[in-house]
Amino acid sequence: MTEPIESLRLRWAEERARTAFLALADGTVFRGTAFGARCDMAGEAVFNTGMAGYQEILTDPSYAGQFVVLTAPEIGNYGCNPDDTESAGLWLSGLVVRDANPPSNYRAAESLDAYLARHGRPGIRDVDTRALTLHIREHGAQKAWLHVEDTPMTEAEGVARARAWEGLDGQDYAARVTAEQPYVFNAEGRFAVTLWDFGVKTNILRCLAQAGCRVTVVPAKTPAAEVLAGHPDGIFLSNGPADPSAVTYAQEAIAEVLRSGIPLMGICLGHQLLGLACGARCGRLPFGHHGCNHPVRDLRTGRVLITSQNHNYALTALPDCLEETFVNLNDGTVEGIRHRELPALSIQFHPEAAPGPHEAQALFRPFVSLMERHQ
């Protein structure tokens, strides 16, 4: 519990040296101190305004290819534990924080620093995260290079590497994070659900299991015919990273299964893919929605939900066959859709929370109702 004084002194000295940095493609550089794994990485810098839940963020496959800048300044406070994970590994490029603390919580198994190091992901602390956040807000999410290795690197070189990186747009990150083999989550249940894994968060699986589903998780590129051959009661399109427009195979597969009349639900990337499969367009938001406090109106009940969000892209230009069911009250973007004729619906935000408010968890109910009717 008590850090030896020598180790404190060493940490203070490191904080003064500020040898690590995050270089943005537009030439802006933010300096700090390295922690976690000491390996340089490329990625897109986005900010997340949630005040708790860093472990869920770290393990959320949707962050693949991104540096997550946490706006909450004191991070690591409750350490990391074996339970609050959203997948088997860490997928983001790196973590950017103001302050990284040793843990104090009865569930903590290891520190944030050790957790990142064990999973081979770098972190940078003592960064002016507010300045960085305002920069992203004004100039948009950016390609970036995180330098944390001991071998020196100039800032200019970091900027060059950020620029040289391919970026997320047009990249199929779902293929990088999806399950390699099909597997079953929750062998018991009223409904057989097949879930296309584009980078699924475990809490979606837990919520489905709780709703009485036995879930078969299949890789992203599993053909529609194979999914239909299993005669599922429902089909689920998971969340996932990066650009929906790059996942054309999934759009086609979704269009195919839609015609079968099997109930279908999507979340986040799954929502965008359903929209695209139905003829909507999908555009990039300036700096995305990442946080736990976004107000969304349920257009049918009028109620407002405080939601957990994590997406850079959003549906626009909905075709006539789609009804908008949820709208973001901050910027008016589409947060949910429902097919007017077919039993298909999807949600842009994260009803499964983890991290974030639980009040949208009831939104798995309509999917269950569709399956009940279909059965």
Partner 1 sequence: MPKRTDIRKILLIGSGPIVIGQGCEFDYSGTQACKALRREGYEVVLVNSNPATIMTDPVTADRTYVEPMTPEALEAIIARERPDALLPTLGGQTALNLAMELYRRGILGRYGVELIGANAAGIERAEDRQKFKEAMLAIGLDVPRSGSAHTPEEAREVAARIGTWPLIIRPGFTLGGTGGGIAEDPESFERIVRGGLDASPTSEVLIEESLLGWKEYEMEVVCDRAGNAVIVCSIENLDPMGVHTGDSITVAPIQTLTDAEYQAMRDDSFAVMRAIGIATGGSNVQWAVDPKTGRRIIIEMNPRVSRSSALASKATGFPIAKIAALLAVGFTLDELKNDITGTTPASFEPALDYVVVKAPRFTFEKFHGSDDTLGTQMKSVGEAMAIGRTFREALQKALRSLETGRGGFGADGKDGPMQALGDEALGKAVARPTAERIFALHEAFRRGWSVERVHALCAIDPWFLRHLRELALFEDEITAAGTPEALAADLPLLRQTKAFGFSDRQIAWLLKSDEAAVRALRRKAGVKPVYGAVDTCAGEFAARTPYYYGTYGGAADPEGPAPADHRGAILIVGGGPNRIGQGIEFDYCCCQAAYALREAGYRVVMINSNPETVSTDYDTSDALYFEPLTAEDIVPVYEREHCIGAIVQFGGQTPLNLARSLQAAGVNILGTSPDDIDRAEDRDAFKQLAERIGIRQPASGIALTAADAQRIAGEIGYPVLVRPSFVLGGRGMVIVRQEADLLDLAEQAVAVAEGKPILIDRFLENAVELDVDCVSDGTDTVVGAILEHVEPAGIHSGDAACVTPPISLSPAVLERVRGYARAFAEGLHVRGLMNLQLAVKDEEVYMIEVNPRASRTVPFISKAIGISLAAVAARVMAGETLAEAGLTREPVLPYYAAKEAVFPFARFPGAQIVLTPEMKSTGEVMGLSPSCGIAYLKSQQAAGTCLPERGTVLLSLCDADKAAGTRAALRLAELGYDFVATRGTATALWEAGLRPRAVFRVSEGHPNAVDLIRSGDVAWVVNTVGHGALPADEGRRIRSEALLHGVPMTTVLEGFAAAVEGLAASKAAGGPEVHSLQELHARL
Look up tokens 């047009």; give the residue. 170
Asked if 210 touches partner 1 (CB under 8 A), the answer is no
Largest alpha-carbon pair distance within the chain? 68
Residue 275 tokens read as 């929209």
9 contacts partner 1 (rule: CB under 8 A): yes
CB atoms closer than 10 angstroms to residue 293: 14
At closest approach, how far in Å is the CB of 78 from partner 1? Answer: 5
Closest distance between partner 1 and the C-beta of residue 228, in Å? 37
Is 19 one of the binding residues for partner 1 (CB under 8 A)? Answer: no
Judged by CB, which is closer to partner 1: 85, or 178? 85
For position 8 contacting partner 1 by CB under 8 A, the verdict is yes
Q: Identity (one letter) of the amino acid at 248?
A: T
C-alpha 234: how far from its chain's center? 23
Cα–Cα dist 212/298, whole Å: 24
Question: One-letter amino acid identity for 150?
Answer: D
Residue 355: DSSP 8-state: S
Q: Smaller CB distance to partner 1: residue 327 or 344?
A: 327
Select which of 147, 271, 294, 350 is catalytic. 350
Query: Residue 90 or 237: which CB sits closer to partner 1?
Result: 90
Verify binding: residue 109, partner 1, rule CB under 8 A. no
Tell me how far, at minimum, the Cβ of 137 lies from partner 1, in Å: 6
Residues 190, 231, 281, 303: which binds partner 1 (CB under 8 A)?
303
| 16 vs 373, beta carbon nearer partner 1 | 16
Looking at beta carbons only, is 122 or 356 nearer to partner 1? 356
Of residues 126-155, those binding partner 1 (CB under 8 A): 127-131, 133-134, 137
**Nearest-approach distance from CB 131 to partner 1, in angstroms:** 5
Q: Coil, strand, or helix at residue 89?
A: coil
Residue tagged active-site, from 207, 268, 278, 282: 268
- Looking up tokens 């340089």, which residue turns up? 40
For 58, 93, 200, the CA distances from 33, given in Å and listed in that order, are: 19, 16, 32
Among positions 254-293, residues that touch partner 1 (CB under 8 A) are 291-293
β-strands 264-267, 234-237 pairing: parallel
Active site residue 352: yes
Element containing residue 281 per DSSP (H, E):
strand 281-298
Q: How many Å apart are CA 310 and CA 312, to the nearest integer?
A: 7
Measured CA distances, 298 to 237, 301, 302, 334, 363 (Å): 21, 6, 5, 11, 10
Judge whether 350 counts as a catalytic residue: yes
Residues near partner 1 (CB under 8 A) are 1-3, 5, 8-9, 12, 15-18, 47, 49-53, 55-56, 71-74, 77-78, 81, 83-84, 98-99, 101-107, 127-131, 133-134, 137, 291-295, 297, 302-304, 306, 329-330, 353-359
Catalytic residues: 268, 350, 352
